[in-house]
Amino acid sequence: MKKVRRILIALPPPPSDSPYYELARTWKVELHFANLVDIQPMSLAEFREQDISPLDFNAFIFSGKQAVDNFFRLMREMRLEIPADSRFLCTGEALAQHLYQYIPGAMRRRTYAQARTLNDLIPYMRKHAQNKYLYIGGGIVPPSFLEEAARYHLNIRVLRVYHLRYIPLPAELKRKRFFALCFPTVSSILAWKSLYPAYAQRDTAILVYGHDTRRIAEEEGFRVTDYAPKGGVDSLFALLGHFLKAYHENRRSPLAE
């Protein structure tokens, strides 16, 4: 039986006291980190080129913290305030808690955060079909979400508030073979597919965090080995630990050489 060796995690290297390193020591694996996506704030001039005024909308959709931060940064720069009767839709309670830093208590009561994926927002949006929805992010939106919104004739526009730049792997990592790839976001999946269009998965394990990330990974042709959040596994770190534990228990993981 050959051993598990290398795992690539599409994140910036964590600090030296990160629990990831203890995980590597516990299961005797090599963890390599590489940030595949650089987020660059959009300038006010670039924002205005889209010719979309947030004040024309009364419902705002967020699926990431960077979208929240950059949207409200640009609103401050334009000296604009969100209408008091606005609604906010978030994919997950953690994101809603981040949003609460920017909005007062009355607005927080009009925040919907029970959806795990963007598609899970559709039933709520249909109940409030009269709203004008603005999806805020880096321009990447799962096609299935927009298709579902169009199917029910929901009024939705997409607004970019930051740029995404894909970062190739460092030369020393390109030469290594990885037995598992861990993707934390939709953008990390799309970055990999854009940077390495000829990549063949073969027996490599693919671990992903987020239901939309899983959906996009499968749409892009990956065979997803496991995903989180589910069943108490609520982070990419927990998913990787769960996966390694299962490998050592049953010796049937795709990580085995």
Counting the structural domains of the chain, the total is 2
> Quick one: which of 163, 217, 160, 168 has its CA closest to 190?
217
The pLDDT assigned to 144 comes to: 87
Residue 4 has pLDDT above 50, yes or no: yes
The pLDDT assigned to 102 comes to: 96
235 in Cβ contact with 227 (< 8 Å): no
> 3-state class of 178 per DSSP?
coil
Same-domain status, 103 and 149:
yes
Residue 209 has pLDDT above 50, yes or no: yes
Kindly report the number of other CB atoms within 10 A of residue 252's CB atom.
9
Same-domain status, 136 and 200:
no
Q: Is 1 a domain residue?
A: no
What percentage of the chain has pLDDT greater than the value 70?
Answer: 96
Contacts of 49-53 with CB under 8 Å at 24 or more apart are 50/159, 50/160, 52/134, 52/157, 52/159
Residue 254 has pLDDT above 50, yes or no: no
Same-domain status, 111 and 29:
no
Same-domain status, 85 and 133:
yes
The pLDDT assigned to 140 comes to: 85
For 30, the domain range is: 16-35+169-183+190-207+215-227+243-257
Q: Is 83 a domain residue?
A: yes
72 in Cβ contact with 101 (< 8 Å): no
Full-model pTM: 0.80
Compute and round to an integer the Cα radius of gyration of the chain. 20
pLDDT digits (tens, 9 = 90+) for 138-158: 988 888 899 999 999 999 999
